[in-house]
Every structure is written in C-alpha cells, then in structure tokens.
Structure 1
Amino acid sequence: MECSDFEKDIFLFSEISDEQKVALKLHLENCANCSTLFNEVVKMDRLVKEMAIQEIVPANAAKLTSRIM
C-alpha cells in the first residue's frame, strides 16, 4: 500500500477493521509524514469533540443574538 491509501485509513480510523488498524500502525512506525498526519487528525478530532460538549450559557446566547441582529 502507498501513503495515499493509508491517508484514507487515518481519516476513517474509527471505522476501519482491526486488521487495517494493525497495518496502519506498522506504516506509521516507518513513515514520518503519515505519522504527523495521524497525530494532527487525532488532535483535531479531540478539539471537535471538546467543542461539541461545550454548552452555550443563556447570557452568552442573548449577547450573541443581539450582535447578530
């Protein structure tokens, strides 16, 4: 497999098979570019999940609404 094939697996990591994960992890050990991409995608995923958890405080919601209107 080539890096372009592994890049798809990086973005779909939670959806790929265990066999694909093993192959990807072996590739990441030897490919700095894919390893960097994997780490960036993991960080991005964490940030998105953290942002999704944050609640809008009613006072902030009112302030935001007034700024938009």
Structure 2
Amino acid sequence: MQDGTTLYALDISGASFVKPCGGPCTEGCVTLARIGEDAWALGDSKRPDAQPLRFTTQELNAAGIDPARFGLGA
C-alpha cells in the first residue's frame, strides 16, 4: 500500500488528468489521474500550475470520490 512519502515520490509528468463532467467547466473542476498502482492525483482545473494532491484508492473512497465518475477504473 502506498503512503504519503511514496505517493509524492511518483513522477506525474506524463499523467493524464480528466474531469468528471467531460466538458468545459465554467466554475472549475476537480481533475483526477491514476499515477500508479493504488495511487491517484487530484488537481484543480482553475489552478493548473498548483501541485495536485495525491491519494490512495482507500483515501479516495473514504472521501466519497469514485474514479469511475471520471471514466477511470479503480
């Protein structure tokens, strides 16, 4: 299982972030990318230069964030 140290050590330079709505978001959207086994990066489309937060699948589930809503498998 990943932890905070290993999550932030993962290279996300090639990560493909997707929005749950699939279209333009006028108020900004949360974006999500799989960055490894049991590892996810959560970004903000209004702040694309901000460092995305990183979570395990278990942490996403606890927060009520379903990767399937973004078109991503868990």
TM-score, normalising length: structure 1? 0.25
Q: Which has the higher helix share?
A: 1
Which is greater in Rg?
1
Q: Which structure shows the higher strand fraction?
A: 2
